[in-house]
C-alpha cells in the first residue's frame, strides 16, 4: 500500500514513522510512504506558503495553490487516488475506517498547519474526504497522519508477525479487549486469574469474551450500543447490568 503525504515537515514525520510496526512494514516493502512538501510550490524565494486570513483574525492560513499542486504531484497520473484531509471538522476516524482504507492501494493524506487551510484547497479537490482523529486541538496534522498510518498499516497482511494479534485487539470487533497477564504469576501479592493457568483453552476463550464485554460495558457502554452482539453476548450484558443494579 502506498501512502502519499502532503506536509511541510516531511523529514520530521519520516523520522517518527521510521520505527516499530510502521518502520518494519516499510523495510519489508509492505507499505511505501512518499512525502510532498507544499513549500516546493511556493511563489516566493523564501518558500513561504502562509498568509493573513481574509476578514482578519489571529494567525496565518495555509495557501491553497501550493497544497493543490502537491496533491496533483502526489496523485501523479492517477487522478482518482482518494485524498483525505486531516481536519477537526471531518468524520471521526475509527477502526472500521482503518479497515476500509487498508484495502486501498494508494491514498493521499493532507496535513495542514497554522490556523488552517484555505477552504478552496478542499473544495477544488475531487474524490476527497475530511477525517478527524478526535475532538481536541493539535499544532498540525502530522501527528494525526502518523496515527492514521499506524492504524492502517497493522491491518495489512504480513505486517504483524502474528495475524491473530489483529483479530483480538481492542475495537477490532467493536469492543474493548480483555485484561492481559504475564510472568511472574504474583505481583505485590496479586495473582493471575486461575482460569488462565488451567490450560483449558475453551474456558479461557469464554472467560476472555466475558471480560471483554464486561470491560466495554463498564468503560465504553456506547460501544455496546453500536455493536452487533450475538444472543449469548447480549445475555452476558443483560446479566452484567442486573448485577450492577443489585449492588
In tens, the pLDDT along 17-29 reads: 999 999 999 999 9
pLDDT of residue 106: 98
Helix, coil or strand: residue 87: strand
Helix, coil or strand: residue 32: strand
Look up cell 489571529; give the residue. 58
Residue 200 above 80 pLDDT? yes
Backbone angles phi and psi of 217, in degrees to 5:
-65, -40
**Residue from 170, 32, 173 nearest 104 by CA:** 32
- The C-alpha cell of 157 is what? 497482511
Are residues 223 and 216 in contact, defined by beta-carbon separation less than 8 angstroms?
yes
Strand ranges in the chain using DSSP code E only, listed in sequence order = 2-6, 32-36, 50-51, 61-62, 83-92, 106-110, 128-132, 186-187, 190-191
The span from the CA of 137 to the CA of 87, in Å, is: 10
State the chain's mean pLDDT as an integer: 92
pLDDT of residue 127: 97
The span from the CA of 70 to the CA of 68, in Å, is: 5
- 186-245 CATH: 1.10.1270.20
Peptide bond into 184 cis (omega under 30): yes
**Residue from 74, 97, 87 nearest 151 by CA:** 97
**Which residues fall within 8 angstroms of residue 213, CB to CB, at 6 or more apart?**
175, 224, 233, 236, 237, 240
Categorize the per-residue pLDDT at 164 as very low, low, confident or very high, splitting at 50, 70 and 90: low
Helix, coil or strand: residue 52: coil
Helix, coil or strand: residue 5: strand
The span from the CA of 21 to the CA of 198, in Å, is: 32
pLDDT of residue 13: 97
Q: What is the pTM of this model?
A: 0.85
In tens, the pLDDT along 213-232 reads: 999 999 999 989 888 899 99
| Mean pLDDT, range 122-135, rounded to an integer | 97
Lowest mean pLDDT among 11-25, 198-212, 227-241: 227-241
pLDDT of residue 168: 53
Length of the chain in residues, anyone? Answer: 247
pLDDT of residue 170: 53
| Mean pLDDT, range 193-217, rounded to an integer | 95
pLDDT of residue 246: 77
Categorize the per-residue pLDDT at 171 as very low, low, confident or very high, splitting at 50, 70 and 90: low
pLDDT of residue 73: 98
| Percent of the chain predicted with pLDDT > 90 | 84
The span from the CA of 147 to the CA of 13, in Å, is: 11
pLDDT of residue 102: 97
pLDDT of residue 226: 84
| Mean pLDDT, range 141-165, rounded to an integer | 89
Helix (H) or strand (E) holding 228: none
Domain with CATH 1.10.1270.20 in the chain: 186-245
- The CATH H-level superfamily of 2-153 is SPOUT methyltransferase, trefoil knot domain (3.40.1280.10)
Residue 141 above 70 pLDDT? yes
The span from the CA of 29 to the CA of 170, in Å, is: 26
pLDDT of residue 174: 82
Neighbours of 217 (CB within 10 A): 18
Amino acid at each position: 500500500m502506498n501512502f502519499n503525504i502532503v506536509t511541510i515537515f516531511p523529514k520530521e514525520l519520516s523520522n517518527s514513522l521510521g520505527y516499530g510496526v510502521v518502520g518494519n512494514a516499510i523495510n519489508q516493502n509492505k507499505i511505501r510512504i512518499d512525502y510532498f512538501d507544499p513549500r516546493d510550490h511556493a511563489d516566493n524565494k523564501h518558500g513561504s506558503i502562509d498568509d493573513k486570513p481574509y476578514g482578519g483574525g489571529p494567525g496565518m492560513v495555509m495557501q491553497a495553490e501550493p497544497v493543490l499542486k502537491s496533491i496533483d504531484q502526489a496523485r501523479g497520473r492517477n487522478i482518482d487516488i482518494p485524498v483525505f484531509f486531516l481536519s477537526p471538522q471531518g468524520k471521526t476516524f475509527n477502526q472500521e475506517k482503518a479497515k476500509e482504507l487498508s484495502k486501498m492501494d494508494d491514498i493521499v493524506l493532507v496535513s495542514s498547519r497554522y490556523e488552517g487551510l484555505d477552504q478552496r484547497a478542499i473544495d477544488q479537490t475531487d474524490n476527497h474526504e475530511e477525517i478527524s482523529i478526535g475532538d481536541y486541538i493539535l499544532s498540525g496534522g502530522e501527528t494525526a497522519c502518523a496515527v492514521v498510518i499506524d492504524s492502517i498499516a497493522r491491518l495489512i497482511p504480513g505486517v504483524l508477525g502474528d495475524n491473530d494479534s489483529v483479530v483480538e485487539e481492542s475495537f477490532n470487533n467493536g469492543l474493548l479487549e480483555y485484561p492481559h497477564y504475564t510472568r511472574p504469576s504474583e505481583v505485590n501479592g496479586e495473582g493471575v486469574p486461575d482460569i488462565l493457568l488451567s490450560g483449558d483453552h475453551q474456558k479461557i476463550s469464554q472467560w476472555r469474551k466475558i471480560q471483554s464485554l464486561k470491560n466495554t460495558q463498564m468503560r465504553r457502554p456506547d460501544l455496546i450500543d453500536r455493536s452487533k452482539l450475538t444472543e449469548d453476548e447480549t445475555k452476558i450484558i443483560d446479566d452484567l447490568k442486573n448485577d450492577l443494579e443489585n449492588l
